[in-house]
């Protein structure tokens, strides 16, 4: 642990911390955020709540505390799930403050090794998994349904499927991508993919690497510029958030849809294809960056209800009050770091809630959720009792043969 080396160090970091927005002074420290903050929920520590984190921001900005790894760790334990923003009576934009604080850490303190590896992989290979960019579309090999790959130099489709990093490379999440293209094939959607796609970079941005985010956005915009398409279809809510809300400032003008929005628009045609009943009780976990951030709450539920035999039940914390899985803002890549602070993963706590409402299937709509909840099933000993499935997998399983 770094110790305070005195006023000069505090003054130096205070000067750097002027990049933090004055938004923080809107916080009146009322503490309403404590009740909904997932890290506070698990740890019960003031320092691991939104109120505590904002207090640290003020102290650093005013030169009363130096910016050091210890202060940084309180910011790094936040997943930017935005639950606090929903309840904040002063409407503090925590979602703007936290990335600023994390950027300050990346620039002046450094990053934990596991996050450094992810940043370096993303910058070098265009994905956080450290896989070859040449193999980005390898998941389509051997599929019965055709997945048209647009050439580097051009091509026109109605819908450009932005597959995203985990669906492209992670063996478990590749199943989700395969389910989606099967459904698109059934619906006769004119779509294509491109291997020029790079990580959209949202979680890296929230984890403080704004420069990396810009670099990725420029690469993606260059690739998009060579193609003609009317709409971007996205699987990962984090990449969706970046493309929908951040990429317009890099020139993206096409409509951006999460698959739940896209498929809900074709609900009638889709329903005709859904014949195999899934006779079980299902609950749905709202991903932070699909739900709270982008207010997509109903479309995923419409899709689940369209599957014959699905008994959809709600967990107590749903929609705007959904409980984060712990994967956001780099949490996905800070598991070793988190294990030093957390006695329990957020994903584990969330599973208990799903079990309590009698769900046999926990439906998700985010790659982070799929992986984190499947791990939590194992660590909680819930194998055989609770199954984690992406909505797309449930839909594909119900398609008529």
User: With contact defined as beta carbons under 8 Å apart, do 362 and 386 qualify?
Assistant: yes
135 vs 341, which CB is nearer to another protein? 135
Nearest to 43 by CA among 268, 358, 254, 340: 340
At its nearest, how many Å lie between another protein and the CB of residue 129? 10
Nearest to 285 by CA among 329, 347, 228, 340: 347
Distance between start and end Cα atoms, the chain? 60
User: With contact defined as beta carbons under 8 Å apart, do 394 and 278 qualify?
Assistant: yes
At its nearest, how many Å lie between another protein and the CB of residue 160? 25
Q: What's the CA gap between 318 and 297, in Å, rounded?
A: 9
Nearest to 349 by CA among 320, 332, 328, 326: 326
Q: Where is 335: in which H helix or E strand?
A: helix 335-339
125 vs 259, which CB is nearer to another protein? 125
134 vs 400, which CB is nearer to another protein? 134
User: With contact defined as beta carbons under 8 Å apart, do 42 and 343 qualify?
Assistant: yes
50 vs 127, which CB is nearer to another protein? 127
At its nearest, how many Å lie between another protein and the CB of residue 123? 5
Nearest to 56 by CA among 77, 76, 71: 71
Q: How does DSSP classify residue 136? A: T
131 vs 276, which CB is nearer to another protein? 131
At its nearest, how many Å lie between another protein and the CB of residue 110? 6
209 vs 299, which CB is nearer to another protein? 209
133 vs 185, which CB is nearer to another protein? 133
At its nearest, how many Å lie between another protein and the CB of residue 360? 40
User: With contact defined as beta carbons under 8 Å apart, do 213 and 242 qualify?
Assistant: yes
Binding site for another protein (CB under 8 A): 106-107, 110-111, 113, 116, 119-120, 123-125, 130-132, 134, 209-212, 214-215
DSSP assignments along 256-295, one per residue? EEEHHHHHHTTHHHHHHHB-S---EEEEEPPPTTTTTTT-
Q: Backbone dihedral region of 234: left (phi > 0), alpha (psi from -120 to 50 degrees) or beta? A: beta
At its nearest, how many Å lie between another protein and the CB of residue 393? 29
At its nearest, how many Å lie between another protein and the CB of residue 169? 12
Dihedral of CA 301/242/143/188: which sign? Answer: positive
214 vs 335, which CB is nearer to another protein? 214
Q: What's the CA gap between 185 and 183, in Å, rounded?
A: 5
User: Residue 21 CA to chain centroid, in angstroms?
Assistant: 24
At its nearest, how many Å lie between another protein and the CB of residue 286? 32
């Amino acid at each position: 642990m770094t110790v305070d080396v005195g006023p000069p160090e505090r003054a130096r970091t205070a000067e750097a911390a002027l990049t933090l927005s004055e938004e923080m002074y809107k916080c009146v420290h009322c503490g309403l955020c404590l009740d909904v903050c997932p890290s506070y929920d698990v740890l019960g520590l003031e320092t691991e709540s939104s109120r505590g984190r904002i207090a640290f921001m003020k102290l650093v900005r005013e030169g009363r505390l130096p910016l050091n790894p210890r202060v940084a760790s309180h910011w790094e334990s936040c997943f930017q799930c935005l639950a606090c923003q929903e309840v904040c009576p002063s409407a503090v934009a925590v979602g703007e403050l936290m990335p600023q604080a994390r950027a300050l850490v990346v620039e002046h303190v450094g990053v934990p090794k596991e996050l450094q590896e992810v940043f370096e992989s993303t910058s070098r290979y265009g994905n956080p998994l450290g896989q070859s960019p040449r193999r980005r579309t390898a998941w389509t090999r051997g599929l019965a349904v055709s997945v048209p790959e647009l050439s580097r130099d051009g091509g026109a489709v109605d819908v450009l499927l932005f597959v995203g990093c985990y669906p492209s490379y992670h063996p478990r999440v590749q199943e989700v991508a395969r389910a989606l293209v099967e459904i698109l094939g059934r619906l006769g959607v004119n779509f294509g993919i491109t291997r020029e796609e790079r990580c959209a970079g949202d979680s890296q941005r929230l984890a403080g690497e704004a420069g990396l985010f810009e670099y990725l956005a420029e690469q993606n915009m260059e690739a998009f510029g060579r193609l003609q398409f009317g709409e971007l279809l996205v699987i990962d809510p984090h990449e969706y958030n970046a493309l929908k809300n951040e990429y317009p400032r890099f020139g993206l003008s096409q409509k951006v849809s999460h698959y739940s929005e896209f498929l809900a628009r074709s609900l009638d045609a889709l329903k005709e294809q859904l014949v195999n009943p899934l006779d079980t009780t299902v609950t749905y976990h709202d991903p932070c960056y699909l739900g709270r951030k982008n207010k997509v709450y109903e479309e995923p539920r419409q899709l689940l209800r369209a599957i014959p035999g699905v008994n959809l039940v709600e967990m107590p914390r749903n929609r705007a009050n959904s409980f984060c899985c712990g994967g956001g803002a780099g949490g996905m890549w800070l598991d070793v770091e988190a294990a030093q602070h957390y006695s329990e993963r957020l994903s584990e706590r969330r599973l208990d809630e799903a079990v309590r409402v009698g769900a046999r299937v926990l439906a998700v709509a985010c790659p982070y959720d799929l992986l984190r909840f499947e791990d939590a099933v194992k660590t909680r000993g819930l194998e055989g009792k609770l199954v984690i499935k992406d909505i797309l997998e449930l839909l594909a399983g119900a398609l008529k043969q």
